[in-house]
A and B are shown apart, each in its own frame.
Chain A
Amino acid sequence: MSLSLTVDDIMDKQFLTFSADTSIPDAIQTLHTRKYFGACVVDKTGKVLGTLSEKACIQFYEDALHGRLDRPLDDIKVTEALSPDFLTISKSLGVVQAAEILLQHPIRRLAVVESGRLIGQITCRDIVKAVQRIGQI
């Protein structure tokens, strides 16, 4: 298998992010509307804070529906529902290495950062599509 492709060659540069002050219901609506399975949360400087956790969101909805929240769900921000499983990589990393990281962890998305800022992301699908397209990575 070729080892020539880097993350930079196939990463998604037109990706969805949430600002830190996005509410959980707004984020969930956006994910559904735009047909995304997840997205990174970034601060005002573009620094990535993490990815939104579906599990944490389910817990907040459950609590809201059963009156267990001390404030409206609309007041709860995405920064309170970040996934503990979150990894960043550099764009120069080989795609094979990125794939191995994805296979070793319970995640399907890696954030690509440069000088602390989020510049892209790569998912299992991006890699699978690249393999389909060119037959190797």
Chain B
Amino acid sequence: MPDKHTVADFMDRTFVQLKPEMKLSEALDILVKEQLIAALVVDSQSRPIGILSEKDCLKEVLHGGYNQRPLGTVRDYMHEAPKAVPSSMLTSELSQLFLNSDHRRFPVMDSGRLVGQITRRDLLRGYTKLMLKQDKSSIRK
């Protein structure tokens, strides 16, 4: 089957964005409330400048304590975001990016503008829908 599906078909356009100046405790509350493993950190120009994960938070609360001293801001604990992908990228290409790295999410940018994000979960969800559409018998006996 020729692969004509692109990142635009599967990406999340309404995703949680964290601000770098946000307090870590505030960001942590958002991650827990929204049931997210991680979220993109976006600057005032809507550029993805990092990712804050539960693990980044865990590192801080483990080594710095939660109420022993004030926690810093998201900028202090976030890690580098992977290079953004365009929404026109074929999903087969995106699959290779996921398979050849440990990244769980990529920012999606078109013409320098952040338009979404795509996670491994989004990709698997998209593939599942695609296969259901293609041939229901291949998913459900």
A binding-site residues for B, Cβ under 8 Å: 1, 25, 28-29, 31-32, 35, 37, 54-55, 57-59, 61-62, 64-67, 72-74, 96, 99-100, 102-103, 106, 108, 124-125, 127-129, 131-132, 135-137
Contacts and interface: CB of A to CB of B under 8 A. Distances in A.
Interface residues of B, number: 39
B58 A25 contact: no
A90 B139 CA distance: 37
Given A37-B37, A57-B124, A124-B55, 20 more contacts: A25-B138, A32-B128, A37-B121, A54-B120, A54-B124, A58-B98, A58-B99, A58-B127, A59-B95, A61-B127, A61-B128, A61-B131, A65-B130, A73-B138, A96-B62, A102-B55, A103-B59, A124-B58, A127-B61, A132-B32
A106 B131 CA distance: 30
Contacts, number: 112
B54 A74 contact: no
B68 interface: yes
Give 7 nearest A-B pairs by CB, closest first: A61-B127, A135-B67, A124-B54, A25-B139, A131-B61, A54-B120, A131-B66
Contacts of A31: 121
A108 B62 contact: no
B128 A136 contact: no
Nearest to A100: B62
Interface of B: 1, 3, 28-29, 31-32, 35, 37, 54-55, 57-59, 61-62, 65-68, 92, 95, 98-99, 102, 104, 120-121, 123-125, 127-128, 130-131, 137-141
Given A128-B61, A135-B67, A61 B35 contact: no
Given A1-B68, A124-B55, A25 B131 contact: yes
A35 B34 CA distance: 11
Given A28-B128, A55-B98, A65-B3, A74 B29 contact: no
B92 A136 contact: no
Nearest to B134: A65
Given A108-B54, A135-B67, A67 B1 contact: yes
21 contacts: A25-B128, A25-B131, A29-B128, A31-B121, A32-B124, A32-B125, A54-B120, A58-B95, A58-B99, A61-B95, A61-B131, A65-B1, A65-B130, A66-B1, A66-B3, A72-B138, A103-B59, A127-B61, A128-B61, A132-B29, A136-B68
